[in-house]
Amino acid sequence: MCGKVAFRNIMNIILMGVDTLINERTTQTYGILLEKAVHLSLEIFILVMERDLVLADVFRPLYQPLEIILSQNHRQIISLLEFVRYDYLPQIQQCSIKIMGILSSRIVGLVQLLLKEDVAKSVIEDYAACLEFRFDDFQVIENTKDDVGVLILQLLIDNICRPAPNITHLLLRFDVNGPIERTVLKPKSHYSCLKIILDNLEKVTKPDINALLHEFSFQLMYESCLDPLTCGPVMDLLSTTKYQFFSKHVGTIGVSPLPKRNNNQALRISMLHERAWLLKIQALALHVSDISSSVYREACLAILSDAFGHCAENMKNASMFQSPGTPICTSSGLMNRNKVLELLEVVQFRCPDTSMKYPQLLSNLRVESKIEEILRNSATSEFGGVYYFSERGDRLIDLDAFHQKLIQMSQELHTQLSESEKGELKESFHRMLKWAWRYNKNLEEQAAQLHMLTSWSQIVEVAVSRRMSLLENRSQLLFELLDASLGATSSPDCSVKMAYILTNVALTCMAKLRDERFICPTGADSDAVTCLDIISAKQLSNAACNSLLFKLIMAIMRNESSETLRRRQYALLLSYFQYCGSILDSDVPPSVIRFLLLEEQEGDDDELTLQNVLKEQSELARANFAIIRKEAQAVIDLVTKDAIHGSETGKAISFYVLDSLVSIDHEKYFLNQLQSRGILRSCLTDVSNYLSKDMSFSSEFSQRFCTIDAQFSLLLRITHHYGKHGSQILLSMGALQNLSSCSLSGYQKKGSSRLNSNVVKERAGEIDKKWSLTAPVLRIITSFTSLVDSADFLEVKNKIVREIVDFAKQHQSIFNSILRENISGANAFSLERLNMVVSILSKIWAYEENDECSYVQDLFSMMHSLFSLDFGSLNFIQSPNMIENQKSELVLFGICFGLISYLYFLATKKNMRFQISDGDNNKLGQQQPTLQMVSNLLNSVTLALERVGEEKYLLLNKVRDLNELSRKEVDEIIKVCMKQDCISPNDNIRKRRYIAMIDLCCMAGNRDQLITLLLQVAECAITILLVHFHDEACAEDLSSFSDELLPLLERLEHLKEVNIKTSIELAEKFGIY
């Protein structure tokens, strides 16, 4: 019989229709036989459809896929799909649903076809009735592949992302005649699968029977919320009050105990997935909801209340900051427990081991390696492997395929074995099949556990990062989440994958905790802010911080770990140290705070408060050191192992961890540990090797750059934290020799016209990276100059001076290029390098008699160009950011201080005397320093002191009057400081004033620093002038010059007494000046 005849005969049976079959089944004796014929016909269709695509690709155009043939007569397709209504034999319904799944993936216009034939409504109702009957069934279905409810839900899930309108849109009653995204869903009014699903998800009854249906129903709702077309209508529906039972489920079924593994592992797995999809729905709702809408805002508050036990006091209040201390409200009344923490407890359990212990006989017969080879092959059973993918996407062992492989192996060994060994081999293979069954179940449970934990992390991270303003007691909540996450990570039941997820949650919470500390304090009834708010930041207690650090150290030291996990843990440790590093805002100097507190209160209470805050910070630093000190050997061993043997990313963050450990070292303990392990010497060698290699522009150099930068950070921390002692240790290890061998001159920016643009851009990026490493090299050299004893500065045997001089000579091209760079076009990075070069040369180059490098002339030329400038009117340091302008000005005067210090050494140590002004005595036209130049600098300093003192006075007045400024004026202050990203349009005036006050205090602090530096410059300049006036040989020529200098000195004296008196008094009182 040919294919066409077979198709017509089978199709004639199907075209008889479902109504005829129902009638014949109930009235005729042959009805059962007809039922079987229909069932077999549908099975044949499914078998053909599963294979015909391959044949069509080979024999096209002679052979056409079955859906093309069926599409020639729409009645054929409708007849196949209508059998879902036939409930006498579930197998027929299953076949019809499977055919619907195949056709929906192959026929793009299937929905339009059903609409055109006017059967869409009946199909919707038939599927809804079938699903409803399955939900109401009391019979447990062992094989999920035969569950019509599961098949329908999988059909809906598979089609949700297909081109619109698709079968899912039709069966869920979306508007398939118009834009899907504009549908208004009304499941209470329209009978559909959506109504059945929502009704059953609200009740969640018969979990032992319907667990899989509940799981896939939650998954379908999540997928529909995620799809861009269905997201809007579904989210609008679920945000209404009648469907807020989703958030209530978090506190009910979400935290209910799981079934025991031995009693019902399948139910245990399904309930884990069910809770995972529920949490994902809630996390997605929190993420995408527009809280400017009252409906969405109320829905978000309900989710937060039911999940976290903390919500805003009034759901209708649009304020982002609520008053603390009010009762916590939820949709079901008062609630104080954090359900999220209970959910974490539910998912914390040790999964059973999936490893296999082979019987001794298999090892003796060398069958073990063959079985492992079979299991290593990841192919599915259809392609010769032993695996298949479950309805959840888990790759499991196909027991039938695995059994066949074992039988083949047994037949190969049959002739080699005795009868007793054959029986033992059969028993061993039977045990292997049992192991494979347990492996599948245990793997499914592990996947379900990770799925739920991932979903838990999503709702926590979304709530913390996006909806934190809707929660109360935020610092306490973040601490609870951090504490629970770290506690779970250090648990022996926690796998590496789970620990990684939990560490990511902890990182998010720690980052938010740092943000919380410096946001505007809440709780005040008025819109006014005071300086006291700055020191009233939300800081965890020292005991809470110590608890977090202890658990974090335990988590890092866990037995089962990986480098990827430790990198995240190291990042968390760095974030913790940053949180503990400064209770006060690091940009606000304590001197400014003290002054403002005295101005506001005129009492000692706030001063005492500030002292207590600083005392607590000091105690916390000591406690942190003590906690790490207890596990120091193991911690440093682990971190140094990653720093030496890890990947480049792992090395970089490990060195940053060592840097942070040094920063809290109070006893030079960590310094000794690093010395004994050779870490510092290794850093110097790595830096030297990296900077000495030729530029090859390979990816290896880019990867190594971050590691080298981290090693520089550690070396600089040694010199900064331990001062001269740290610098001496680096010198004793040959730091100067290592740095001197670096080929820094090869990293200056150059271009080549022979290279194409892509190569030029690539090389320019590499050179920029290498060029940026000159700054840390110069910083280290600058730290070494602190070891130069001024009393022995001119001694020839001063080894440190000699070595630094040799370094400057070896890198003459770098020094010259920096010194001769046009200051008017310099950025902050260039100014910083120039400041360091000037600082180095001002301390050591006065010793060098031979100026073959022309450094002296470069310094003198810079003096002539800088000392006569009015820095307040310079355009090249004007940027939109006022704070950056102040920092640039501070660096410029730092350069002037280095230059005038050099003249100071020449005048006081080498007894050099300068001409009054440029004249005929210049040697070969070379520029020489003059007293007029010093006077010009003193004049610039005087003008700067007048201006800066006035600026500071105005800034402090503006802080005092901040509460009287309008919102527009406050926003102008924020805009000038480039802090617009710190506020949103919804932020109230109190928060805006708080941010503005921080910025103003920061600028006032910068002015204080500059005043101190200007006074030091003025002191050096005046000393140089005094040396010349006290020298009898020079004094007689200075009479006319002194007449010019006298008004300047009078202005300076008057300035000290009047304009900056407050700054001087405060500086002397608090040890600044």
Would you say residue 981 has pLDDT above 80? no
Biggest alpha carbon–alpha carbon distance for the chain: 140
Would you say residue 775 has pLDDT above 60? yes
The residue type at 201: L
Dihedral pair phi/psi, residue 314, rounded to 5°? -130, 120
Nearest in space to 988 (alpha carbons), one of 320, 502, 459:
320
Nearest in space to 870 (alpha carbons), one of 856, 854, 857, 889:
889
Q: Can you give the pLDDT at residue 1034?
A: 74
For residues 223 and 172, what is the distance between their CA atoms, to the nearest angstrom?
13
pLDDT band, residue 328 (cuts 50/70/90): very low
Dihedral pair phi/psi, residue 389, rounded to 5°? -105, 125
For residues 654 and 265, what is the distance between their CA atoms, to the nearest angstrom?
42
pTM, two decimal places: 0.86
Strand segments (E) across 305-443: 329-330, 333-334, 387-389, 395-397
Nearest in space to 1024 (alpha carbons), one of 915, 925, 874:
915
> Which has the minimum average pLDDT: 243-257, 316-330, 463-477, 716-730?
316-330
For residues 193 and 129, what is the distance between their CA atoms, to the nearest angstrom?
8
Q: Can you give the pLDDT at residue 796?
A: 42
Would you say residue 106 has pLDDT above 70? yes
Give, rounded to a whole angstrom, the gap between the first and last alpha carbons of the chain. 108
For residues 714 and 636, what is the distance between their CA atoms, to the nearest angstrom?
14
For residues 510 and 485, what is the distance between their CA atoms, to the nearest angstrom?
11
Q: Can you give the pLDDT at residue 413?
A: 82
The residue type at 589: P
pLDDT band, residue 329 (cuts 50/70/90): very low
CB 885 within 8 A of CB 871: no
Q: What is the DSSP string of 267-296?
A: HHHHHHHHHHHHHHHHHHHHHH--TTSHHH
For residues 122 and 119, what is the distance between their CA atoms, to the nearest angstrom?
5
Would you say residue 326 has pLDDT above 60? no
* pLDDT 10s digits, 72-99: 999 999 999 999 999 899 999 999 999 9
For residues 499 and 497, what is the distance between their CA atoms, to the nearest angstrom?
5
Nearest in space to 266 (alpha carbons), one of 381, 356, 140:
140
For residues 384 and 373, what is the distance between their CA atoms, to the nearest angstrom?
13
Q: Can you give the pLDDT at residue 173?
A: 95
By residue count, the chain amounts to: 1073
CB 442 within 8 A of CB 352: yes
For residues 856 and 858, what is the distance between their CA atoms, to the nearest angstrom?
5
Q: Can you give the pLDDT at residue 547?
A: 94
DSSP annotation of 533: G
CB 18 within 8 A of CB 39: no
The proportion of the chain whose per-residue pLDDT surpasses 70, expressed as a percent, equals 84
* pLDDT 10s digits, 708-743: 999 999 999 999 999 999 999 999 998 988 888 877
Dihedral pair phi/psi, residue 860, rounded to 5°? -65, -40
Q: What is the CA radius of gyration of the chain?
A: 39
For residues 157 and 230, what is the distance between their CA atoms, to the nearest angstrom?
12
* pLDDT 10s digits, 928-974: 888 989 999 998 898 888 888 888 888 888 888 888 888 888 888 88
Q: Which one is predicted more confidently, 975 or 36?
A: 36
Q: What is the DSSP string of 914-938?
A: -BSS--TT-GGG----BHHHHHHHH
Nearest in space to 995 (alpha carbons), one of 540, 607, 588:
588
Nearest in space to 715 (alpha carbons), one of 705, 734, 737, 730:
730
Q: What is the mean pLDDT of the chain?
A: 84
Q: Which one is predicted more confidently, 844 or 460?
A: 460
CB 1042 within 8 A of CB 1029: yes
CB 886 within 8 A of CB 770: no
Q: Which one is predicted more confidently, 746 or 321?
A: 746
CB 959 within 8 A of CB 1000: yes
Rounded alpha-carbon distances, angstroms, from residue 403 to 360, 385, 422, 433, 815: 20, 12, 16, 7, 76
Q: Which one is predicted more confidently, 608 or 940?
A: 940
The residue type at 525: D
HSE, side-chain direction, 13 A CA sphere, residue 39: 16
Would you say residue 221 has pLDDT above 90? yes
Q: Is there a cis peptide before residue 352, judged by omega within 30 degrees of 0?
A: no
DSSP annotation of 353: P
* pLDDT 10s digits, 615-672: 888 888 899 999 999 999 999 999 999 999 999 999 999 999 999 999 998 889 999 9
Q: Can you give the pLDDT at residue 583?
A: 56
> What mean pLDDT is predicted for residues 512-525?
67
Q: Is there a cis peptide before residue 165, judged by omega within 30 degrees of 0?
A: yes
CB 131 within 8 A of CB 193: yes
DSSP annotation of 560: S
Rounded alpha-carbon distances, angstroms, from residue 221 to 174, 229, 244, 711: 14, 13, 14, 50
Beta bridge partners of 334: 329
Q: Would you tell me how many other CB atoms lie within 10 Å of the CB of residue 544?
A: 16
Would you say residue 566 has pLDDT above 80? yes
- Highest average pLDDT, of 326-335, 582-591, 788-797, comes from 582-591
**Which helix (DSSP H) or strand (DSSP E) does residue 315 occupy?**
none
Q: What is the DSSP string of 589-657?
A: -HHHHHHHHHHHH-SSHHHHHHHHHHHHHHHHHHHHHHHHHHTHHHHHHHHHHHHHHS-HHHHHHHHHH
Strand segments (E) across 180-338: 329-330, 333-334
670's tokens:
């960590």
Rounded alpha-carbon distances, angstroms, from residue 708 to 687, 780, 833: 6, 14, 19
Task: Give the β-pairing of 329-330 and 333-334.
Answer: antiparallel
The residue type at 1045: L
* Per-domain residue ranges of the chain: 788-1069
